[in-house]
Structures are given as structure tokens and as C-alpha cells.
Amino acid sequence: MTELVVTTRTDGYADDGLLSLREALLFAEIFATPVTIRFDPAAFAGSSNGTTAKLDLGTLAIGAPAKVTIEGRIGLDVVRIDGGFTGHPNAPNPGSRIMTIAAGAEVMLRGVALAKGFERGAAGLATQDGTEGASGGATTIHGAPGPPGNGGTGATGAVTNGGPAIAGISNAGSLTLDGVFFAGMNALAGVGGADGGAAVAIAVLLDTPALSAGSFAVIA
């Protein structure tokens, strides 16, 4: 078992002697052994900003073959991972999904609050039917003018549905939640294409997590 301690709130990768949550998750993918990630009380509980780690670089991606436990309890507090939703979906940087777990990754979240995640699904697309091709040139039958050639029929237009939106966790691996709280999640499914395209929503709404394909367990 390998233990990593997050020592900075700053989100990103830097050669500064500190360890961010994003860097710790990258190491968890590299190591061949299970990894537990904890948070340094001096950097989190001891700060005037409380225990929040804001995702300035967007969604946390956890890939295979990571086997990682994120332990967010610091005394009586829990670390809050903040997706940065501004309350304005049309803002230039409205916020991001909290986490994506790839197939083959194993993740346990323990004593963590996930807050202010946001995602907007991709819009659907509809294309119109193609137009009929132009008539061909005249033919001759025994010297007399024949009927014109027939142009090809236009291709049928295609319709695609609007994409899903997942504000909290998109899970295709193995996920266990133990004492995890969701708050302030917002997701907008992509609008459907014209002529019958439907919007599809896989979203986190009203502080309730929604998780995509993959195994999932909650410890009460």
C-alpha cells in the first residue's frame, strides 16, 4: 500500500515540491500497488478557506490501472472537491464535472464532499434530406429522341440525439462511496437534433449523484 499526502490546494502540475490532488491521481495510475490519498491538515483544515480543493483545470480523470482510495476526513471536517460551477451555465467557464473513472480503475471515496459540478451535454444534430440529382441527357431510340435520364435520389438526412450531461461522477470502472456528500450539482442535457432528435439526460440533480456504467457500491 502506497500513501500520498496532498499538500496544496492549487490544481495542476508543477515542479514545486508540493503535491496537488491531480498529481496524486496521476501517480496512482503509475504505481502498481493500491494507493491511499490523504490531505495535509496544514494545507486544508488550517486554512481560512476551509477544506475546499477547487478544480481550476476541469474534471479529475482516473484511468486504469489505478486502485485508489481518496480519504477526505480531517478531524471532524471533510475535504470538499469543488467543480467551480458559477451559477451561470452560459458563462465562458461555467464549471466542470467532478470526476471521470475509466474502465479498469478501482476507486473508493471516503469522507469527501463533491460540490458545484457542472456539465452541458453535446447538442444533437439533424441534416436535411439531399436534393434529387439533375436529369440526365436525352437518349435516342432508332434515331428518335428518347426520355431524359433520371437523376439520383438525394440521401436521407440523419438525426442524432443530444448528449448526456454528468455533473458529479461518470463511472465506467469500480466505485465505492463511503460517507460522500453531493451538493450544488447542475447538469444540462444536450438539446436534440431537429426533426425528432431527443435530449438524453444522465445528470446530477438536486444533490443526488448519478453514475454511468460500472460497478457501484455505497457504504451506509
CA distances for 199 relative to 95, 107, 115, 168, 190, angstroms:
21, 30, 25, 19, 6
The pLDDT, as a whole number, for residue 185 is: 80
What's the confidence (pLDDT) of residue 179? 86
Angle at 41 between CA 35 and CA 42, to 5 degrees: 120
Q: What is the pTM of this model?
A: 0.73
Q: How far is CA 84 from the centre of its chain?
A: 14
Task: Give CA–CA dist 138/148, Å, rounded.
Answer: 4
What is the C-alpha separation between 46 and 69, in angstroms, rounded?
23
pLDDT (tens digit per residue) in 135-184: 555 555 565 555 555 555 666 666 666 666 788 888 888 888 888 888 88
Q: Look at residue 130 and tell me whether its pLDDT is greater than 80.
A: no
